[in-house]
Structure 1
Amino acid sequence: MPILTHPSLSAAVSKPQDAPKDLAPENILQLRFDHHGPVKSLLLLAALFHLAEFFICKFFFSQTSGPFFHPPVATAVAGQETFLYAHSIIRQYGTFALQLGLINFIVATNPPKFSRFVRLLVVIELCAAAFAFAQLWRSEVPAVAMWITGLWNLMIAAGLWLFAPKETLSLPSPAAERAAMGEFNLFGLRISGNVRYLVLKTSLLIVGLTWTLWAFGSTVFWQIGVAGISSTKGVEGDLVRAMGANDIVRNGQGLLLFAIGAVCLLASQRPAHFAAFVWFVMLQQGINFISAVIELSFGSIAWPQFFIVAGGQAAIALYFYLLLPRGEEQRLTQAAK
């Protein structure tokens, strides 16, 4: 997985003797703890926590959803009420939690390079803690679970703030980014680095805005998401009332969506420098495909919907792969060593 670097970055570090070199493309999975070990450990702990959330929500969704949902929560597939909407949304929450865990892992590979994302993750963890503590007054929500979650988020946020890299690598100029993109030949069509840079920047911006709009759809405009999900107006009305009562689930999912959107928007500012998050968008498609397979097995979606979703994810992954920084990438990586 290539992570693009710029040769001028080493000069922008306030303490060059303490700053680790950017990882070469073939070494992204090799985490070194001789530099910034505490912050890397905290980021990996957060990633493992989100991975655990994923497995719990995917495989123990019935037990997980129980305390957070009020009946009725059934919805329809092919005209019949065949699965619980509560179970589906809990499994979906697990999918988003896994993506946030992947973000933590990417940032852990090079905290100085991704120092802006470290600060963003501090804000995300603080929001998650505030959300957990805000639910304590609700008698139907397990207080112990909320205390554990809130304190965990506070601990991670405080640790990331305390051990965040003091040095911040300056961002390469837009001109350097365009040069690093390189020219690309697509079936005989030569695409300049300038065009690829602008398209990639715009695409990441659109992805970030899409996740943000989806977050608003889960928190503020949730009635739109519920509308049309069931086969009958009666069941649809029940769902609207049920989801109105189950705001903790909607808002918890919305918080994850806001976090993913913010990360993509931040990455769009320097898409070549933050090329690891282009890979993140591609890996998202694989995660979403696995989620679609799981939902298909539970009857949450039908085969035509599955093929549409799978085809769209494959197209998006290929699209971003074609936009990956190329050309001078190897030279820039070697120059940073």
Structure 2
Amino acid sequence: MLTDEFGREVTGVRVSLTDRCNFDCVYCHNEGLGDTRGPMDPQDDEMGTDDVVRFLEVAAEFDVDAVKFTGGEPMLRDDLEEIVARTPDSMEVSMTTNGTFLPGRAEDLVDAGLERVNVSQDALDREQFAAVTQSGAYDKVLEGVDAALEAGLDPVKLNMVVFEHTAGYVPEMVDHVAENEGLQLQLIQYMPELTGRPEWNVDIDRVHDWLAEQAVAIEHREMHDRRRYWIAAEDAEIDGDPAASPHVGMVEIVDPVENPTFCANCHRVRVTHDGFLKGCLNRNDDLKPMGEMTKPEIREAFRAVVADRVPYYGEYMVRNGDGEWELNEKYLEEHAEP
């Protein structure tokens, strides 16, 4: 297993299979690359099936034990089932999707080896959902969640980005996962540094505080220093472990912005749809090409990207005398091109 100079073992990879998407979400940062989505047809720069599998085989050599497939929308890849089926058996396989293509494919993906799925669902209100996603696929997403549950992908984790457009819908979504078995909720902090709209930001600590008031139990997870809140529906009867009780929903917050503890616990390397490795979502100055994607080239690039990984907050970005975050000039000088 590869470890960076800050002692962080790389145990997972997040692989973007395409930057194409049938949605146009207003908060999208396309895995940190910016809004580069183009036509819906397959693009020449996307990694081929064999390229993706070859990369995963190398990652498995380094004891990486989990892969999450993302996009864009990964289900726009017709070869997704083949990629999942050919993923090394030692890896847990999950996917983040908008859910619209799960009806008709969820069962085949499970048969291929998919174990978990995150479905993006930013509001239970049809009009607001359309405004955020720039799509009219609200009902299709709900069908996709049902299809995932029916295929055995239980629990289905709903992803909700919390920002000005969606914050008012958080209580309704929390009630939704508490009342419906098989669902969990992941509230994702809006990242203005990647989207360029700081005026949309909300205070994520207020969301934490509100959930803490509602929770029947709170769990702390070492990974990314995350907190999980167990929220009971009105008719819930809790007997023993809240997590095992019906009508109790799990809500987790992902809050990386200005969070050195989050960055200090990051154990993932990302792969762009066009075959570059990156050590941090927030950076594109650390991209490592994998060349023609032969196994020796992949190994070399993987070692290099891990060696160069630093916590984004606390190392790449540091606080100045006024307590504000700024680029670490010392780090930039030490890593400047000769």
Q: Normalising by structure 1, what TM-score?
A: 0.25
The higher radius of gyration belongs to 1
- TM-score, normalised to structure 2, is 0.25
